[in-house]
Chain A
Amino acid sequence: MNTPPRFFIALLLVFFIASAVSAEAPPKSDVLLGQLKAYRHRVIYETYRDGNWELFVMNADGSNPVNLTRTPEIDELYPKASPDGTKVCFEADEGKGAAKVRNIYYMNIDGTGRTKVVDNGRDPCWTPDGKTIAYMKGLPGPYTTDHSANKGLFFYDLATGKHRPHVNPNIERVLCLGMSPDGEWFTATAAGGLGYAFSIIAFEAHGMRHFELLGSDQAAHRWQCRPDLAPDGKKVAYAKARGQPPDKIFAIEVADLDLTAPMPRLTNFRHVVTVPDPLEVYHADWSPDGRYILFSRGPKEPSKMKPQRAIVAIRAPGWDVCVADAEATDVWVPLTADGQSNKEPDWVPVK
Chain B
Amino acid sequence: MRSLPTSPHLDVRNVMWLLAAMVFVVAPHLIRMPYWVAVFFVAIVGWRGWIAWAAMHFPGRFVTSTLTIAAAIATYFTYTRIVGREAGVTLLVVMSALKLLEMKTQREVTLSIYLGFFLVLTNFLFSQTIPLGVYMLACVWIFIGTMVGFNRVGSSPTLGERMRPAGALLIQALPLMVAFFVLFPRAAGPLWALPTDTRSGTTGLSDTMRPGNISNLIKSDAIAFRVQFQGDRPPYNTLYWRGPVLTQFDGATWSLSHDESRGNVADYARAQRPTKYTVTLEPHNKTWLFALDVPAMVPPGAILLHDLELREPARSPVRDRKRYEMVSFLDYRYGAAAHRGSLRESLRFDETRNPRTVALGRQWARESTNTREVLQKAFQYFNRDFTYTLEPPPLDSRDPYDEFLFVTKQGFCEHYAGSFALAMRAAGIPARIVTGYQGGEVNPLNNELVVRQADAHAWVEIWLAEQGWLRVDPTGAVSPLRIDGGVNAALGPIGVLPSIIAADPIGVLAGIRDAWRAMNSQWDAWVVGYSMDRQRQLFSDLGFPGIDWRALGFWLMVSTFVVGAAISIGLLVRDRPPRSEPSLVAWNRFCAKLAAAGVAPRAPYEGPLDFLRRVESSRPALAATAGDITHRYVEARYGRGASREELRELTRRVREFRAT
Question: Do the two shown chains form a genuine complex with each other?
Answer: no
Interface residues of B (CB under 8 A from A): none
